[in-house]
Structure 1
């Protein structure tokens, strides 16, 4: 694999999606371009563009730049971008919907945003901040996902997770009379979204790092009405089908989803791996130490027309490299991975022979 240091700050990157059509790439002298999101930042500060010069070797010619954006009244009111996906000239960003390592769940992490590729292009040309539309859902997506998962046997929420993620969030909502009070319920699981991609039908597929099934398998949840959320301020997130990658992860080493990518909305590439990073006092791992054991892998699968189990094919095993945060497969079939390494963010490219 070829590796390039992206020199991005902050050094926490998540997910990867392709941007710009062939004409725009040629105009800029590029042959491929991706967006990644920088987590632990507000939505308007989370966008970075990775571009590769036409004709350059895969381990050379890369440019990485921050893309400033303006979220209007929502500036400063979001945090923790974790996933991105592109469709019909727009890039969509998704907040984790989760909380910090020690809880509670955070309403600032409950959001979806989108920015047009045209607006990103103008920013690259003249520095004008890109126009970012933000939908703050105040745990509405958390509610919709938990309702969609109601019939699935999930990895039990441990006592610490119940206390710091669920009970503490409910108590905060009641004590401060929050608008979202009652949206999080005592029987809920906290939701950690780290992957997103569109199906051929235009539904936004959300890959969960947590929760996973009781047998340790990752989950993909369909958000049916993402465009409606931007069109109608009163729209409520609505989730539909749920798929289980039933040959990934085990009870002894459960695995969650870290990234999703597709070129046709039918066949998907994914990164799977541990439920949280070890050594960071994560509540998930305090309740489930086995959640730190799963290795990172690149798998490929096709979704069925109905909810249920899905088989996968392993494309690459990363060995001791664990923090694989994003994947995008380019027009030549090369797989690009964004990786958080100690002190820097790297892009690695796997050339399939």
Structure 2
């Protein structure tokens, strides 16, 4: 496993996705390029490009650059980027849809954005489109999960995330008042990747099933959300990774990657970081037990259900694995949050 320190500020990196065509890479003298997102800032300042020089060893030749975008009237109105994915010439970013560890849910975290993929490699301006959901995706995911037996929301989580958000919407007469309902689960999206059919597969870190298995939900109308200002998110298939996690050590999704088909690489791990007064762990202390693992699974054409997975790599004591991308040679790259810096690690399969 090769490790490379990336000098990025702020230091909370999340997710990883491959970008740029072979021709575009060659023009810049690169052989690999990935995007990651930084969650302690607004969407327009959340993108970072990680590139590797042609001919360099995998533990050398890496550099990182911040990408600053113009978000127009939406500038400054978003936070907590947690997932990224690329398709059809765009790089997409997604907010967590969650809240701070003590709640409540935050409308500033309820959004999706995109930039033109080709624009991130140059020195010119990068324009960003942002769609603010105002809990519309929270609503769509909760509706899709209505028939899934989920880990119950604990008393503290119910108060901090659900009841406090509802009360805030009513007190301040928010436009989204009524979108969050008393029976809802707070959702924390930390992974996203496109299926072959164009649906965006959302990986939930929380909630998980009552048996501790991770859950994925398909967002069906990504393009429509950007084309029609009146469009609302529409979610369909729900998938459960039935052999990952357990009641004793539940796991959620941390990262997703695919090479264009319906075979996915994923990172799964704990439900929240321990030692940071997370409300989720106060209700469910078992949610801190799971180690991080790189797994692989395939989705069939059927309409949702339980699928199996296989373990590719176990990370041992390394817990904050935030992103995975598998290159054309089959080597797995991971972005990892470590104390005071962000690390890119490469697992070389001989």
Q: Same fold (TM over 0.5)?
A: yes
| Alpha-carbon contact 2:262-2:300 (below 8 Å) kept | no
Q: Distance in 1 between matches of 2:151 and 2:180?
A: 18
Distance in 2 (alpha carbons) for counterparts of 1:334 and 1:190: 35
Please point out which of 163, 171, 182 is paired with 2:178. Answer: 182
Q: Which residue of 2 aligns with 1:321?
A: 318
CA RMSD of aligned residues (A): 0.6
- Which residue pairs with 1:216 in the alignment? 212
1:142 aligns with 2:138: yes
Counterpart residue number, 2:342: 345
Partner residue, 1:117: 117
The answer to whether the 8 A contact 1:255-1:291 is kept is yes
Matched, 1:55 2:52: no
Q: Which runs of 5+ in 1 are unaligned?
A: none
Distance 2:144 2:282 in 1: 26
Query: What's the offset of the Cα at 1:41?
Result: 1.1
Q: How many residues align?
A: 349
- Structure 2: runs of 5+ lacking an equivalent: none
CA shift at 1:120, angstroms?
1.4
Task: Write the mapping of 1:78-97 to structure 2, written as runs, cut at 5 A.
Answer: 78-97=78-97
SS of residue paired to 2:349: coil
Aligned residues of 1:67 and 1:120 also touching (Cα < 8 A) = yes
Distance 2:225 2:277 in 1: 35
Distance 2:34 2:260 in 1: 17
Which residue does 1:304 correspond to in 2?
A: 300
Partner of 1:331: 328
Tell me if structure 1 keeps the 8 A contact 2:17–2:325. Answer: yes
- CA shift at 1:266, angstroms? 1.1
> How far 1:298 moved relative to its partner?
0.2
Kept in 2, the 8 Å contact 1:257–1:270? The answer is yes
1:134-172 alpha-carbon deviations (Å, 9 max, x no partner): 000000000000000000000000000000000000000
Shift, 1:117, TM fit: 1.3
Q: Shift in Å at residue 265 of structure 1?
A: 2.6
Question: Partner residue of 2:106?
Answer: 106
CA distance in 1, matches of 2:106, 2:300: 33
Q: So what's the TM-score if we normalise by structure 2?
A: 0.99
Partner of 1:75: 75
* Offset from partner CA, 1:63-98 (integer Å, 9 cap, x none): 101001111000000000000000111100000000
Work out the CA distance in 2 between the residues paired with 1:40 and 1:280.
16
Counterparts of 1:161-310 in structure 2 under 5 Å?
161-305=157-301, 306-310=303-307
The CA deviation at 1:24 is 0.4
Q: In 2, distance between residues paired with 1:347 and 1:120? A: 20
Distance 1:165 1:212 in 2: 16
Secondary structure, counterpart of 1:171 in structure 2: helix
The question of whether the paired residues in 1 share the 8 Å contact of 2:199 and 2:222 is answered with yes
Note the C-alpha offset of 1:118: 2.1
User: d(CA) in 2 for partners of 1:265 and 1:135?
Assistant: 27
Dislocated runs of 4+, deviation >3 Å: none
Distance 2:120 2:72 in 1: 16
The superposition leaves residues 306-352 of structure 1 with CA deviations (integer Å, 9 ceiling, x where unpaired) of 21001001000000000000000011111000000011000000011
Counterpart of 1:30 in structure 2 is 30
Q: How many Å separate the matches in 1 of 2:222 and 2:32?
A: 27
SS at match of 2:123: helix
Mapping of residues 6-17 of structure 1, within 5 Å: 6-17=6-17
How many Å separate the matches in 1 of 2:119 and 2:345?
27
The TM-score with structure 1 as length reference comes to 0.98
